[in-house]
């Protein structure tokens, strides 16, 4: 980037909203993904859609790469400015513009932190369900761009199920609106769905129309410990077969159990092959009935220990083990890769077994926990990125893990996105023809390839 470009950007957003010092640029060279970092040439924070449009027009005319960023909590290197250029920081567009109680929608800027939106709508007895682990820091724009999920995915779905409309700026600076507040809307291509999960490669999101749902009146949490992984898998299937869709249905594997126990001393048996955490929510009467059926299914499938939370304090205790999973694993070693390979629900035990085999074979530490109900696993690899020999084994294990997920008819990413982290396996999952179709979409909407270039679909 040249000096006159920087000056032009300063003209658009004001001097104080363009960062160019080496120190500031260094702070935007990374996101939450290990091993990927590159300095941008400028960090630009627009205040509104008009400024965003002007920035993109300038970047497009001058072929300057643009990397859109919210809070930078991405786990697939989606925010890393790998080719320099502009980091487009959207955090100033942080207004909740409307909470429409008649249509049950919220309209908000992309810079709103997801937890803040939930705080706002909670006073009306509503929730915006997608709740990724970073819900207290991640921006709405970032979670929509990544199509983020969370712990309640099984019952409530992921971001794409809640995004009804968007205002976006295209690569050339044009502003378009997609969707709206209509519950039913089949007019034209579903551009809202296309942009949701496009990882900053097709447009820059400047406004979001999100669906809200009534907050559940009651919750009931249960925990079950299994000495046999297959029984845990059968219990999961049995719960769903009993036509119960829990809000949360979490699993932890033996490696995670041992790590959590060592760290938090919550009383888990070290020889357990799986722990399930189940939470049903909704109408209080239905919740009681469903909880009873879940307990039945757990016992019928030979759970070695079951517990149901009688009150909030007990609920917190049951959740403590699951909450400790990532911190406990992360504390083992300096570098932590949280992956999100996902398989069909009935393949969860097979996948967990594969992962522990892969860990053993490559002498790598992997603890797997995740959302058993929707098959979204989090194999978490802990290592030290400064040790090249170890990293070779880590990359090999990662390769085998993703291939295993694909072989089980799974997918590379359940909720973190592809970015750069999972790009090497995209062709294996989708095939050349499908990849070419995706690349054509990219080239049609961003002919100069300035938006998050090289990510998601790779070089075009």
Q: Which residue ranges make up the site for another protein (CB under 8 A)? A: 19, 21-24, 26-32, 34, 45, 71-73, 91-92, 115, 134, 136-137, 326-327, 330-331, 334-336, 384-386
Q: How far is the CB of 368 from another protein (least distance, A)?
A: 17
205 forms beta bridges with 168
Distance CA 170, CA 441 (A): 13
133-153 burial string, b = 16+ CB within 10 Å, else e? bbbebbbbbbbbbbbbbbbbb
Q: How far is the CB of 361 from another protein (least distance, A)?
A: 25
Distance CA 15, CA 2 (A): 16
Q: How far is the CB of 91 from another protein (least distance, A)?
A: 6
Residue 195 or 319 having the CB closest to another protein: 319
Distance CA 11, CA 24 (A): 20
Residue 217 or 384 having the CB closest to another protein: 384
Residues in the chain: 460
Q: How far is the CB of 24 from another protein (least distance, A)?
A: 6
Structural contact between residues 200 and 453, judged by C-beta atoms closer than 8 angstroms: no
Structural contact between residues 418 and 456, judged by C-beta atoms closer than 8 angstroms: yes
Q: How far is the CB of 107 from another protein (least distance, A)?
A: 22
Residue 143 or 301 having the CB closest to another protein: 143
Q: How far is the CB of 6 from another protein (least distance, A)?
A: 17
Q: How far is the CB of 384 from another protein (least distance, A)?
A: 7
Structural contact between residues 67 and 88, judged by C-beta atoms closer than 8 angstroms: yes
Residue 19 or 96 having the CB closest to another protein: 19
Rg of the chain, C-alpha, whole Å: 22
Q: How far is the CB of 352 from another protein (least distance, A)?
A: 23
Picking from 168, 182, 180, 149, the residue whose alpha carbon sits closest to that of residue 75 is 149
Residue 28 or 195 having the CB closest to another protein: 28
Please state the φ and ψ torsions of residue 320, each to the nearest 5 degrees. -55, -40
Structural contact between residues 170 and 209, judged by C-beta atoms closer than 8 angstroms: no
Q: How far is the CB of 32 from another protein (least distance, A)?
A: 5
Residue 93 or 355 having the CB closest to another protein: 93
Residue 6 or 385 having the CB closest to another protein: 385
Distance CA 47, CA 45 (A): 7
Residue 28 or 319 having the CB closest to another protein: 28
Residues in Cβ contact with 436 at an 8 Å cutoff, skipping those fewer than 6 apart: none
Q: How far is the CB of 40 from another protein (least distance, A)?
A: 12
Written as six digits, the tokens of 179 are: 């969707």
Sheet containing strand 163-170, edge to edge, reads 96-100, 105-108, 203-211, 163-170, 175-179
Residue 134 or 429 having the CB closest to another protein: 134
Distance CA 373, CA 205 (A): 31
Q: What angle do CA 455, 203, 427 make, to 5 degrees?
A: 30
Residue 29 or 62 having the CB closest to another protein: 29
Q: What angle do CA 49, 120, 130 make, to 5 degrees?
A: 80
């Amino acid at each position: 980037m040249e000096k006159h470009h920087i000056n032009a950007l300063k003209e658009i957003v004001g001097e104080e909203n363009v960062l160019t010092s080496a120190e500031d640029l260094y702070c935007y060279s990374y996101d939450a993904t290990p091993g990927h970092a590159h300095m941008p040439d400028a960090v630009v924070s627009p205040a509104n859609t008009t400024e965003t449009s002007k920035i993109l027009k300038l970047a497009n005319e001058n072929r300057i790469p643009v990397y859109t960023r919210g809070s930078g909590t991405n786990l697939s290197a989606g925010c890393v400015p790998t080719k320099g250029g502009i980091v487009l920081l959207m955090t100033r567009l942080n207004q909740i513009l409307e909470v429409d109680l008649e249509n049950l929608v919220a309209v908000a800027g992309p810079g709103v932190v997801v937890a803040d939106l939930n705080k706002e709508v909670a006073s009306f007895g509503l929730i915006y369900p997608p709740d990724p682990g970073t819900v207290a820091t991640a921006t709405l724009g970032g979670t929509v761009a990544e199509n983020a999920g969370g712990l309640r995915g099984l019952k409530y779905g992921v971001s794409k199920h809640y995004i009804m409309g968007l205002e976006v700026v295209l690569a050339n600076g044009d502003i378009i609106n997609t969707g709206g507040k209509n519950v039913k809307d089949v007019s034209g291509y579903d551009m809202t769905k296309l942009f949701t999960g496009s990882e900053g490669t097709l447009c820059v999101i400047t406004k979001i129309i999100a669906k809200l749902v009534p907050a559940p009146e009651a919750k009931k949490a249960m925990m079950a410990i299994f000495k046999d992984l297959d029984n845990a898998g059968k219990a999961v299937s049995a719960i769903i077969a009993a036509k119960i869709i829990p809000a949360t249905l979490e699993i932890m594997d033996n490696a995670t159990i041992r790590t959590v126990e060592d760290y938090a001393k919550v009383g888990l048996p070290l020889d357990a092959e799986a722990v399930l955490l189940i939470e049903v929510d909704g109408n209080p009467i239905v919740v009681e009935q469903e909880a009873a059926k879940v307990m039945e299914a757990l016992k019928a499938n030979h759970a070695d220990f079951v517990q149901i939370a009688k009150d909030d304090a007990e609920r917190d205790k049951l959740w403590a083990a699951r909450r400790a999973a990532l911190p406990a694993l992360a504390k083992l070693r300096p570098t932590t890769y949280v992956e999100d390979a996902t398989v069909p629900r009935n393949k969860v035990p097979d996948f967990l077994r594969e992962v522990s085999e892969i860990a053993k074979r490559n002498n790598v530490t992997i603890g797997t926990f995740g959302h058993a109900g929707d098959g979204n696993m989090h194999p978490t690899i802990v290592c030290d990125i400064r040790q090249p020999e170890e990293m070779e084994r880590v990359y090999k294990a990662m390769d085998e893990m993703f291939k295993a997920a694909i072989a089980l008819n799974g997918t590379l990413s359940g909720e973190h996105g592809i970015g750069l982290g999972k790009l090497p396996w995209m062709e294996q999952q989708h095939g050349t023809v499908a990849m070419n179709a995706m690349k054509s979409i990219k080239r049609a909407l961003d002919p100069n390839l300035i938006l998050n270039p090289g990510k998601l679909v790779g070089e075009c």
